[in-house]
Amino acid sequence: MKIQGKSVLITGASSGIGAALARAVAGARGQPLLLARREAELRQVADSLGPGTEARVYPVDLSDPKAVDDVAGRITAEVGTPDVLVNNAGAGRWKFVDETSPAEAIQMMAVPYFAAFCITHAFLPAMIRRGSGHIVNIARSRRTLSGRGRRPTPPRAGRCVALRRLCAQT
């Protein structure tokens, strides 16, 4: 796919894979739309993309469905429906199940799982109406789904149990 002239929405764009994707999109002369919680880091990423790049920064807590709807409305009003949506945001902690409260587990699942659903839900109908669009979902690591999801490791047991069930169904 050619990125030049395309708008590419990237969640989790303040660091790591998301920041690297922003650089790649800018290098291909696409328009990066950067989403993450940390506004200062988002602005640093946008500023690092160089002159001529029309990066837009959207600070948002993707674990909040109302905030996702609000930012999707803002993006639609400012640039339209993105050509590409990259669900990259992720959060988690290396803790044992007995060290993790139910509230922490729910928060760890809110991003990336529910955030990816909510942002996709916000833009998918317009992509379908338009007859074009790409959605990319990034998992933190293939080992998480292929290896650790089938053989839980103690500090990731809560997540791995759910992944093991998911992998068994596929």
Read off the pLDDT of residues 15-56 as tens digits, 9 standing for 90 and up. 999 999 999 999 999 999 999 999 999 999 999 998 889 999
Predicted local confidence at residue 162, as pLDDT: 40
Of residues 27 and 114, the one with the higher pLDDT is: 27
Q: Which CATH superfamily is domain 7-138 in?
A: NAD(P)-binding Rossmann-like Domain (3.40.50.720)
Residues 6+ apart with CB under 8 A from 42: 13, 14, 34, 35, 36, 57, 58, 59
What average pLDDT does the structure give for the chain?
84
Note whether 62 and 118 are within 8 A (CB): yes
Predicted local confidence at residue 156, as pLDDT: 53
Quote the CA–CA distance of 51 and 67 in Å, as a whole number: 30
Domain residue limits, the chain: 7-138, 139-170
Instruction: Give pLDDT tens digits for 123-137.
Output: 999 999 999 999 999
pLDDT at 152 over 70: no
Predicted local confidence at residue 140, as pLDDT: 63
Q: What angle do CA 100, 106, 110 make, to 5 degrees?
A: 135
Note whether 91 and 112 are within 8 A (CB): yes
- Cβ neighbour number for residue 32 with a 10 Å cutoff: 28
In the structure, what pLDDT confidence band is assigned to residue 108 with cuts at 50, 70 and 90? confident
Predicted local confidence at residue 154, as pLDDT: 55
Among candidate residues 163, 167, 80, 154, the one with its CA nearest the CA of residue 122: 80
